[in-house]
Amino acid sequence: MHRNIMVKVGIIAFFIVLFIYLLYPTIKFNYLMSETAKEDMKLEDPVAYEKLLDNSIKLGLDLQGGMHVAMEVDVPELAKALARNKDQRFEEAYEEAASIVEQEDRDFLTVLTQELEKRGADLARYYGTKSLRERDEILSYLRNQASEAVNRSLEILRNRVDQFGVSEPTIQKQGNRRIIIELAGITDPQRVRRILGQTALLEFRLLKDQQITQNVASRINEYMKGVLAEVDTLEKPEEEKDTTIVTPEELFGEMEEAAADTAEKDTLELEREKLFRENLFFTYPGDPQRLLVPRENELRLKRVLEDPDIQNIIQTEAGEAEFLWGQLDPSGEYYGIFLVEKEPELTGETIVDAYPQPGSGYDP
């Protein structure tokens, strides 16, 4: 009997220890670490941060709060943007249809069609092509465009949500026109609105010459090595002393001396010591205009590029230029960054229309 009780107690104790072991990463990440500590860990040791994040339980909106965002495709604006040869009749029909839909729960495209027909116009005048002539075909085309706009927006929003660093965000399509986004743990609603609500703009920027890119990369590397050397000179080795005799003053004064030494080290220097590490990036062998950044160095390099001294180096060597980040390579290990002109040479506002046309091997 006594042995059976001991076995049961042992099993219970084992599961309690196992439970605490498995739950500890969640407690540490969500309750024991401040936001500053999380940012420092993410900056200094991205691998350990990702491991801790993966081992912790993902808390939803009901447990840790966050934001619930509903976004909807503006069909009237889409219809107006797709229309060609817009005239007074179209503008009047558009305004009337928008007013009716605002007051009544009706399909905008159907109302717009009716308003155009009242004014002696039809959809083919504004939306027709060689392959689209009939009313029903054009309506089907416009509805497909609205549905495709939602699908394109889903992909764009997923890329934008990645900037928040939220683990397992919920992004899903609801109906034909609405997208629901749930971001657990987000505490800055203004930033969410700014990033999710910004309008995408097509821009064409010129790459800086490869020699300029190499000069900028070389100067930044030299500067980082100089910062590291400066930090090293601040750390003086301690003098050896006899440790066989320990006085009370030495015993209780040891912590005070350590605290004083830490206080003497400037906080800015500590931050720079964390950020400025060698080999944050390197040149891509096959393309001198592309720099490769290991995935774990992404956040650190972004912070480095915000440093005023680094900005001065870029301006001195390349003029009005900045680094643009590309996507991860197929291996998922490196980002590509490119030095480009700050001002775009061409924007989407300049392009009136564009058509795909296959080219040759010499003129793609």
Q: In DSSP terms, which residues pair with 19 in a beta bridge?
A: none
Distance CA 45, CA 278 (A): 15
What's the pLDDT tens digit per position in 137-190?
888 988 888 888 888 888 888 877 766 666 667 888 887 778 888 877 776 777
Q: What is the mean pLDDT of residues 266-281?
A: 55
What's the pLDDT tens digit per position in 212-240?
988 898 888 888 777 656 555 555 454 45
pTM of the model: 0.53
- 309, 351, 337, 273: which is closest to 44 by C-alpha? 273
pLDDT of amino acid 281:
79
Q: What is the pLDDT confidence band of residue 340, given thresholds at 50, 70 and 90?
A: very high
- 208, 150, 211: which is closest to 181 by C-alpha? 150
Q: What is the mean pLDDT of residues 310-333?
A: 87
pLDDT of amino acid 322:
92
Q: Mean pLDDT, the chain, as a whole number?
A: 77
Phi, psi of 123 (to 5 degrees): -65, -35
What's the pLDDT tens digit per position in 104-133?
888 888 899 999 989 888 888 888 888 888
Distance CA 107, CA 98 (A): 10
- 208, 207, 182: which is closest to 196 by C-alpha? 182
Count the Cβ atoms, other than its own, within 10 Å of residue 245. 7
What's the pLDDT tens digit per position in 291-305?
888 888 888 888 888
What's the pLDDT tens digit per position in 17-54?
888 888 888 888 777 888 778 777 776 777 787 788 77
Exposed, middle or buried by CB within 10 Å (0-12, 13-18, 19+), for 125? middle
